[in-house]
Structure 1
């Protein structure tokens, strides 16, 4: 059964040529300019997979099309694995990559055997099998050569294999799909079937323009809905974000059609085909014109035609990309629209709400530009280099008096997870000794845009009348830091900073002079209306120092790196802080989710080493959405060295579960604590889980999410219902007593030792489980 005519096209040469170039780029990915290799190679694999998928519709037979789809699927899975490389446990990523090549090698081996049995040429299949299996050998041989080169070479091998597959493929063009479907049913040549096929094909031809129209209208309405919910702020980001959400809806529709409905239908079809054949024969016994108007045969015939129509549509989808797209939209778009309508009702979701998918796009964009932007922004301030650069002096913070301040990490979802802390933040901020509030990391989700600041910053902070400072997180960089800069910088500094960033981008941006003025004007309007004091900074990082205490912030952007200017500034600030108690607030923590994070990249590890070299007392980071504590001892050449680490990211986003799900004996240090404790967290999740999430929860709870981490799956169990486990810190600097206190708060006030999970060796001997938690340290330098 082959309903195709041999043909040749320029497409195969163009596509295979592009794939060869992609393969070369993958092979040299480790020597590209600064950046992570895995996501780069993953992006190249995405393009290669799409090329093979598009070319599959030109293949000459159903068997060749299926082979191309399978190959493209493996390539795209490989790409997704690499793009999410940081979410895998240990060697799990390498194991899965090797497994994908092994599966593809076995597939080609099976095809080679089939060709041999029917006395067809099997040379290509044998070579493809050898090529795929050889990748497994490459992985084993290069395991000590370095992760980056292993990824680069295996990615290149896969892409070059795709190029060869496209070049080798036999092409053709479809003439009919109805006959294919009839033959697949193994029906005799009967009038009922033949007339139904002709009628359906003619109806499909006639209704195509109408289907095309309603799909376009549906997509336009979805775009308008996304635009209305996400807001329009007259920037490229304001238009592109709803566009990405719409693209996400299309992807979801295609996944529903070809990933869920089609496989289920294929299984059902396989089981019921014998019955369907008998029903067709039974219906055909009475000519159509002799059937009763409301008789059983007419009803059965209607069902059979509906089933036949679906089969023809799905078979058509295998012959052209346009047909595949139309079939996917006809079947899956209504379901995707339903999901788009109801998902936001249940709170913020990173996985299922396509309106948040744009953040992933902007993450890659901002990652490549953050260091350049940051240097342009800080240089525009005209700050004189030196130990006092970017120094803030809050009112009543001096060398002799006691004072305290609040630190809130990752607050900006704007839903119940943020608002549940609102009253406690207000209560603590009203204490006389509280001089300021510091927000560390991810002020506004999902993309740090000014249009989201009112509901996700100003409204939750209403009632706070102490100065508010901030350091941005990765999400705040997704709009090039415009919203953050307008809100937290001095007005003139904000104007100069945004303008400098524009010039750094060679004015290739939608941000104009008028838009800069609008941003600053809007920030001032909100500042006035809500009465929350902001606008004191000139930089995304700063320092506050007294004679005995130094608070130094380190802004690590999207990729856990700092630029050369910030590095020079940081060294000067640390030098000036020698002999003092030094607290560093960093955008990303060095310890989180029960793991050491410093090894994620060399630059981040270098920052950690710098802080060790200067004997920093304590480091506090956000980004991970919970409260964690670790004691690092005996680093460097000093067995008595100690550095305390806090994760303080539970200020108002979905809860991270990585630390709570980590086995106690796998914690990175011997002294640790985390909030929430494991038992109450598990109880909340299990009380809210539906039966649909039971498999994912079993996978997370029993297998710790392998090959991913439990943390990677956190957002799947985000329930904005009580009990809430969000938190923040009050830090009390008391020169009069020679101590500094770190006091954690939850939604009902100060946390107690019974609320948190610990290693069993950090609670002071004079405290009990009912005692309120205070970490108290001498106010002296290391």
Structure 2
């Protein structure tokens, strides 16, 4: 196992490391996803329309689930497995852009997952709009050598074509019948005039893609877009938060039902409940929140893992004398969301000392300073070394250095100004109130190109090792360099007790 980013800069992928072998896995021609291209933006309009004219995904989801039950899916949507009391599984989120960063994750993922029983994809399987035409290069091809089933929950991007591709691939569901037309001149009618609907599934093309994961050991058919898996001593519950990060009333009723009982539970959700130092409990239509269910001691949740945000974060939250691990795991391939914008953490009793993230804030700042230096042709001004970025993060947030083996760098006025311009923490320096976008808005201003397609990539995935007494959760990284490809570094690790009387201690 190679050094992690917490030990050395080389462990983070900085320097002149040899590039990994991931390009040999890719198709000859890869389309670069551009969020400036109208052909990308216009089909992805449904999220905006749902926020303006009302979100129809709850009704559409109910129709999908009813169709699956009519076709013989279990009424409780629970998948029973024959896993032993000791087994392992993987979690990887926000994977499918089909380019270098996604494929750079694959070699290390395959090494780390060799003896695992299954994988869960947590949110946004396919970018930009979840089209079935994209599953060949963005799902079947990258994971063709993973010899176990893959379950998935959809993210908002998978909903941009009403979940048609997702349901066909993971649930083997035929297309839904046409919905009843809304009454004229209502909000629903206005929404329907502009709503993006995907073209019918190209069954021949999809059949060709499926042949890349055709082995019997790789097969799994889900009962719907939300489900539960009983695996060994734990129950894993996957929920679908749709376009806007909410849960419909029927799914909320089901979630309360499958959360009952003494079996320890792990939630996987498309929208994380704690992220960027904030609490997002996820409302349920009709009242209550997902986090109310997770916190209820009668339900015995030990962890809640969410995708959507493209990095790794962990918050050990104490609830009624026990600790629930709230995790963000969205670093599976899509462009990186910054961590250096996360303020000094103090939320739900979790302090900066207990909080973990990957990439480290200093590496995130150095990464984005390099991007802006290249994009704006101001390399000498914007580009920070990883040592400078780490030092200014420590200064601005009042935290100690997170990299153990690193000589301190001098923090100059230029370094402070760049850090403020790129949104470090919540305390911009005087004269730097303007902040350049480094999160989702970045893709709306700068088309991803060659600057983001070379290491280090700062991608990540999870391995969870389950025993009757505990779950060991590890975050492993993928930088795109050969050293980390051959031996994926462990960027974070925590052991989560499963016994009800146990109180987890922070790592």
TM-score, normalization by structure 2: 0.69
2:61 aligned partner? 374
- 1:610 aligned onto 2:343: no
Aligned partner of 1:197 in structure 2 is none
1:408 and 1:741 mapped to 2: Cα distance? 16
CA pair 428-361 structure 1, distance change in 2 beyond 3 A? same
Residues 631 and 645, structure 1, Cα contact 8 Å, conserved in 2:
yes
Question: Does residue 1:565 correspond to 2:250, yes or no?
Answer: yes
The equivalent residue for 2:344 is 664
For residues 164-208 of structure 1, give each alpha carbon's deviation from its aligned partner in whole angstroms, at most 9, with x where no partner exists: xxxxxxxxxxxxxxxxxxxxxxxxxxxxxxxxxxxxxxxxxxxxx
Higher helix share: 1
CA distance in 2, matches of 1:435, 1:547: 11
Partner of 2:368: 685
Aligned partner of 1:651 in structure 2 is 332
Shift of 1:596: 2.1
- The aligned runs of 1:34-53 (5 Å cut-off) are none
Describe how 1:133-152 pairs up with structure 2 within 5 A. none
Q: 225, 240, 244: which one pairs with 1:555?
A: 240
Distance apart, 1:713 and its partner CA? 4.5
Structure 1 residue aligned with 2:138: 456
Which of the two has higher C-alpha Rg? 1
Deviates more, 1:459-468 or 1:693-702: 693-702
Q: Which residue in 2 is equivalent to 1:361?
A: 45
Output one character per residue of 1:356-409: Cα deviation in whole Å (capped at 9) or x when no partner.
322541223456221110000001122699997111234x41xx4311111110
Aligned to 2:388: none
What CA distance in whole angstroms lies between the structure 1 residues aligned with 2:203 and 2:288? 36
Instruction: From the superposition, tell whether residues 734 and 584 of structure 1 become closer, same or farther in structure 2 (CA, over 3 Å).
Output: same
Judge conservation of contact 2:140–2:209 (CA < 8 Å) in 1: yes
**2-structure distance, mates of 1:403, 1:604:** 37
Residue 176 of structure 2 is matched in structure 1 by 499
2:86 to 402, 410, 415: 402
Q: Hey, what's the Cα distance between the residues in 2 that align with 1:559 and 1:603?
A: 16
**Once the 2 structures are TM-superposed, how far is the Cα of residue 535 of structure 1 from its aligned partner?**
5.0
Please provide the CA RMSD for this pair: 3.5
Q: Partner of 2:66: helix, strand, or coil?
A: helix
The whole-number CA distance in structure 2 between the counterparts of 1:505 and 1:424 is 48
Residues in 2 aligned to 1:692 and 1:605: alpha-carbon distance in whole angstroms: 49
Q: What secondary structure is seen at the aligned counterpart in 2 of 1:642?
A: strand
Equivalent in the alignment of 1:483: 165
Q: Which residue of 1 aligns with 2:456?
A: 723
Stretches of 4+ moved more than 6 A in 1?
383-388, 508-512, 599-605, 705-709
Inter-CA distance 385–591: structure 2 relative to 1 (3 Å threshold): farther
Tell me, in whole angstroms, the C-alpha distance in 2 between the residues paired with 1:366 and 1:599: 17
Distance 1:601 1:382 in 2: 22
Aligned to 2:403: none
Counterpart position of 2:277 = 594
Report SS of the residue matched to 1:618: strand
Q: For residues 564 and 664 of structure 1, what CA distance do their matches in structure 2 show?
A: 36
- Residue matched to 1:699: 421
- Structure 2 residue 475 is matched with structure 1 residue 779: no
2:286, 2:342 → 1: CA distance? 26
Shift of 1:683: 2.3
What are the within-5 Å matches in structure 2 for residues 130-529 of structure 1?
A: 347-350=32-35, 352-365=36-49, 368-382=55-69, 389-394=76-81, 396-397=82-83, 400-431=84-115, 434-490=116-172, 494-495=173-174, 498-500=175-177, 502-503=178-179, 518-529=201-212
Q: Distance in 2 between matches of 1:349 and 1:546?
A: 39
Measured in 1, the distance between the counterparts of 2:418 and 2:139 equals 33
User: Contact 1:476–1:484 at 8 Å: present in 2 too?
Assistant: yes
- In the alignment, the residues of structure 2 paired with residue 346 and residue 680 of structure 1 have an alpha-carbon distance, to the nearest angstrom, of 27
- C-alpha separation in 2, matches of 1:601 and 1:543: 18
Which residue pairs with 1:620 in the alignment? 305
Is 1:582 the counterpart of 2:262? The answer is no
| In 2: Cα distance, 1:385 partner to 1:602 partner | 27
CA contact (8 A) 2:43 2:196 kept: no
Local SS of the residue matching 2:328: strand
What is the Cα deviation at residue 594 of structure 1? 2.6
Aligned to 2:474: 743
> For residues 507-536 of structure 1, what are the alpha-carbon distances to aligned partners after superposition, in whole Å with 9 as ceiling and x for unaligned?
x89989xx75x5455433311244373551
Residue by residue over 1:525-562, the C-alpha shift from the partner in whole angstroms, topping out at 9 and shown as x without a partner, is 31124437355112001111256311011111111212
Distance, in Å, in 1 between the alignment partners of 2:364 and 2:287 is 30
* Gapped regions of structure 1 (runs ≥ 5): 1-343, 756-772
CA separation of 1:664/1:349 partners in 2, compared to 1, >3 Å: closer, same or farther? farther
Secondary structure of 2:301's counterpart equals coil
User: For residues 604 and 675 of structure 1, do their structure 2 counterparts lie closer, same or farther at Cα, with a shift above 3 Å needed?
Assistant: farther
User: Residue 460 of structure 1 aligns to a residue in which SS?
Assistant: coil
Distance 1:425 1:603, change over 3 A: farther
CA offsets 1:400-448 (integer angstroms, 9 cap, x no match): 43111111100011111101101112223322xx111111100010101
Secondary structure of the 2:145 match is coil
Seen in structure 2, the aligned counterparts of structure 1 residues 641 and 416 have a Cα distance that, compared at 3 Å, is: same
Higher normalized contact order (CA 8 Å, seq sep 6+, divided by chain length): 2
Given that residues 592 and 628 in structure 1 are in contact (C-alpha distance below 8 angstroms), is that contact kept between their aligned partners in structure 2? Answer: yes
| Distance in 1 (alpha carbons) for counterparts of 2:176 and 2:73 | 24
* Structure 1 residues 701 and 381: CA distance shift in structure 2, 3 A: closer
Alignment pair present for 1:734 and 2:467 = yes
**Per-residue deviation, 1:655:** 0.5
Q: Quick check: which one's strand share is greater?
A: 2
Counterpart Cα distance in 2 of 1:530 and 1:382: 25
Deviations 1:96-129 (A, max 9, x none): xxxxxxxxxxxxxxxxxxxxxxxxxxxxxxxxxx
